Structure 1
Amino acid sequence: MKLTIYLFIFLFFGLTQATIAQTIQPQMILEQEVEIKTTAGQELYKNNLSFYIKDGKVKSTSNQQGMVMNTYYFSSTDIMYITIDMGGQIQKQQNNNALKNTNSEYSKIEVKYLDDTKLIAGTNCKKAIIKLKSKGSTEKRVVWYDPNTKLSFKYNFGVAGLELIEGLPIEYENTQMGMQMIHTVKKIDFSTNISKETFELPK
């Protein structure tokens, strides 16, 4: 009887600790470096990208060769707003059903988790492969993620299937307009308070 009770306690606390190990972060700032290459592997240039994440909202900002782009994502409505400033000329776009639209060109998306590990920005990451299936072809994209950290809502960072990863993506691949992009987090900040004004749309 005592053995049964001890076994139950051991299993209960073991499962509880396994659940607690993955921390849901209410806010964070991610500083990324994006390496852009041709599909043949020739490096074109690098860009920096910042993500501000809090309470189901995301703002990303980048300055790409004089073009300033800000995106705003609100998980409560699954709407993404994009502003592009090209020398004072501002363009605005709105993407309804943002997550669904990112994945729409694929008939099936699968994630395979592997045991490979890698240290990135001081974070112990594990490896996953996203398989994107469309008519007659399958794409595979490598993701390195932090299994101990998770967002409180689904978000794909603009990459098909990335919202399915059980953890925080730290390094991942993407393809866009015939170019290959490798996103790598260089710094993670969980402590800086992000003001609500960060997510206010420009008028």
Structure 2
Amino acid sequence: MTKQFLWVTLAVGVSLTLQTKRGQAQETAPMIIKATQVFTPPDGGDDPNPPQETSIMVYIKGNHVKSESKSDVQHTIVLVDKDAKKTTQLYENQGRKYGYYSIDTPRTTPRQPRLDSAGNPRPRPSTNIDYIDTTMTIAGYKCKKALAKTSFAGRNIVTEIWYTEDLPIKEPIQTGGRGFGFGGFNQLKGFPMAFTTTVFNGATIQYKVTKVTVNADIKDSEFDVPKGYDVKPESERPRGQGFGGFRGGPGGGPGGPPPGD
């Protein structure tokens, strides 16, 4: 397994919807969420990589969100400006700082289905959620258990999730801005505070929120692009990288080799 594949699970983007308990959108109080994520390679084989831990910090203020992740292999920042419908992904590795931004514009043509090697449309993943009658406290919040069962291309993934209904956030913090290739989080009745899943190759991902600070003192400058980054439009991302980076594994990895390497 290469470091590029590890980055599939390590850099963190966000897709957060703020809501009241009645489901109506509103601006929430400034919030900081701290979490950890551990990627463990599959057992057996010749994979030399040990479990890789990533520290995650998410800042939410009004319609701005910043997600920052740090590990031994990469430092990644994702900035979301909902007013401008702009997402900026920043990468720092191999001594270089670079990034790409995209603007969410209305689609004027129907989305074309992705095709397999035979030219047939690829099936879309389907997810069912089972709610389990048990609770646990995580970072001071009462959480309930759910099992998200996703079927895709004849394969199945079961994700154990602990979620809370006490935070005004609907969707989860997602790696690479796209998630892990499995779904169900956006169907939850609350905000995921922890989850464990095994991906198709047998590797496992464990995620857990460790601290939530509500009414946090967050400066507006926190959402600016730091100095020193060479940021280009998404259309200039090198071939071989998808939105989120190098496609070294399921869902695409967030980063990959710096441009020109």
TM-score, length of structure 2 as denominator length: 0.56
**Equivalent in the alignment of 1:5:** none
Work out whether 1:190 is the aligned partner of 2:208: no
Offset at residue 79 of structure 1 (A): 5.0
Q: Distance in 1 between matches of 2:86 and 2:30?
A: 19
CA contact (8 A) 1:156 1:163 kept: no
TM-score (norm 1): 0.70
Match of 2:91? Answer: 84
| Cα separation, 1, equivalents of 2:76 and 2:149 | 29
Establish whether residue 116 from structure 1 lines up as the match of residue 116 from structure 2. Answer: no
Structure of higher CA gyration radius: 1
Aligned residue identity for 1:148: D
1:24-173, aligned counterparts within 5 Å? Answer: 25-40=28-43, 44-65=51-72, 67-75=74-82, 79-94=86-101, 106-151=124-169, 154=171, 156-158=173-175, 159=179, 160-173=183-196
SS of residue matched to 1:110: strand
Matched-pair contact (CA < 8 Å) for 1:128–1:142: yes
Q: Secondary structure at the match of 1:150?
A: coil
Contact 1:24 1:150 in 2 (8 A): no
Q: Which of the pair is proportionally richer in helix? A: 1
1:173 Cα shift? Answer: 3.1
Distance 1:136 1:76, change over 3 A: farther
Residue deviations 1:83-124 (CA, integer Å, cap 9, x gap): 111254112134666xxxxxx984323322221211212221
The residue identity in structure 1 corresponding to 2:37 is V
* Counterpart-to-counterpart distance in 1, 2:65 and 2:133: 30
Change (3 A) 1:182 1:170: same
Contact 1:150 1:166 in 2 (8 A): no
User: Does the 8 Å CA contact 2:90/2:99 hold for their aligned counterparts?
Assistant: yes
State, as a whole percentage, how many aligned pairs show the same letter: 19
The CA distance in 2 between the partners of 1:70 and 1:144, in whole Å, is: 25
Q: What count of residue pairs does the alignment treat as equivalent?
A: 177
Q: In structure 2, list runs of 5 or more residues that go unmatched.
A: 1-20, 105-113, 115-122, 230-261
Structure scoring higher RCO (CA < 8 A, sep ≥ 6) equals 2
Change (3 A) 1:44 1:198: same
Q: Distance in 1 between matches of 2:140 and 2:39?
A: 23
Check 1:81–1:24 CA distance in 2 against 1; reply closer, same or farther (3 A cut): closer
1:54-104 CA distance string (max 9 Å, x none): 22332111221163211123445765321111254112134666xxxxxx9
1:136 maps to a residue whose letter is G
- Which amino acid counterpart does residue 191 of structure 1 have in structure 2? N
Counterpart contact for 1:35–1:43, Cα < 8 Å: no
Amino acid at match of 1:169: P
8 Å CA contact 2:132, 2:146 repeated in 1: yes
Q: Which runs of 5+ in 1 are unaligned?
A: 1-17, 98-103
